[in-house]
Amino acid sequence: MPIHAFPPHTLDEEGTPLWINDLAADNPNHSLHVVRGLEPARALETLGAVPHLFRPCELPAGKPDEWTSLPAAALGIQPGDSGALLAGRVGAWTFVYDDSGSTTEESTPSLSAEGRTAATTMFSINADASLAYAVDGEQLAWINVDDLDLATDLPNMPAELRAAFVAAGTADLDHLESGAPDYSIGFRVICALAGLTCTLDDLRRVPLLVTAFG
């Protein structure tokens, strides 16, 4: 499937949104949550972060080394000391980027409580990739990318999630058969779902919160 949702120069050669790459350390083990209709501070609290540790964030110009994410650099966290969560709101949707993958899909139903919609995607250093989607406190889909068959699975997805998969498309990679899901598909899907087809410079223009976590 072609990638419809993303403007030119917003994805890397493997189909990962560049703003995710710009935030992440090299060889990341990370997750991304999106939720419609919940403010960033409340989303962080729902994920288990401690409110008195939240601080407004201006992201540094760059990362100090390959092991440090941009949110961790903003906090002055040394590699291995702690993870970092970065949250912001773009339109109706809030995102929370977790540079250590300490927050998981188990939180997705809680983020979606009280009539909201939420989704989470994870990618591990061992190339485990998954995605969860929940509405009004109920998980409606959990997808292991290794087991994903778009031809048979798409028709059975909730309509909003199915549309996000169509918009996200598939990356044309040499090691994959044409149309097969790639390991970045989860990030593209929930970015398409939440309208986060943006750049890091776009995110620098919205209020951001950062906190140590884990």
- Whether 5 is covered by a domain: the verdict is no
- Whether 13 is covered by a domain: the verdict is no
pLDDT digits (tens, 9 = 90+) for 104-131: 999 999 999 999 999 999 999 888 999 9
Domain range enclosing 23 = 18-213
Written in H, E and C, the secondary structure of the chain is CCCCCCCCCCECCCCCEHHHHHHCCCCCCEEEEEEECCCHHHHHHHCCCCHHHCEECCCCCCCCCCCCCHHHHHHCCCCCCCEEEEEEEECCEEEEEECCCCCCHHHHHHHCCCCCEEEEEEECCCCCEEEEEEECCEEEEEEEHHHCCHHHHHHHCCHHHHHHHHHHCCCCCCCCCCCCCCCCHHHHHHHHHHCCCCCHHHHHCCCEEEEEEC
Residue 173, pLDDT > 70, answer no
Which band of pLDDT confidence, cut at 50, 70 and 90, is reported for residue 172?
confident
- Whether 39 is covered by a domain: the verdict is yes
- Whether 53 is covered by a domain: the verdict is yes
- Whether 1 is covered by a domain: the verdict is no
- Whether 4 is covered by a domain: the verdict is no
In single-letter form, the type of residue at position 110 comes to S
Which band of pLDDT confidence, cut at 50, 70 and 90, is reported for residue 5?
confident
Residue 181, pLDDT > 90, answer no
pLDDT digits (tens, 9 = 90+) for 23-73: 999 999 999 999 999 999 999 999 999 999 999 999 999 999 999 999 999
- Whether 10 is covered by a domain: the verdict is no
Report the domain count for the chain: 1
- Contact 41/30 with Cβ under 8 angstroms? no
- Whether 12 is covered by a domain: the verdict is no
Rounded CA-CA distance 152/122 in Å is 22
φ/ψ region of 90 (left if φ > 0, alpha if ψ in -120 to 50, else beta) reads beta
Q: Higher pLDDT residue, 23 or 214? A: 23
Q: Quick one: tokens of 96?
A: 């929370």
Q: Quick one: tokens of 118?
A: 């939420």
Contacts of 175 (CB under 8 A, 6+ apart): none
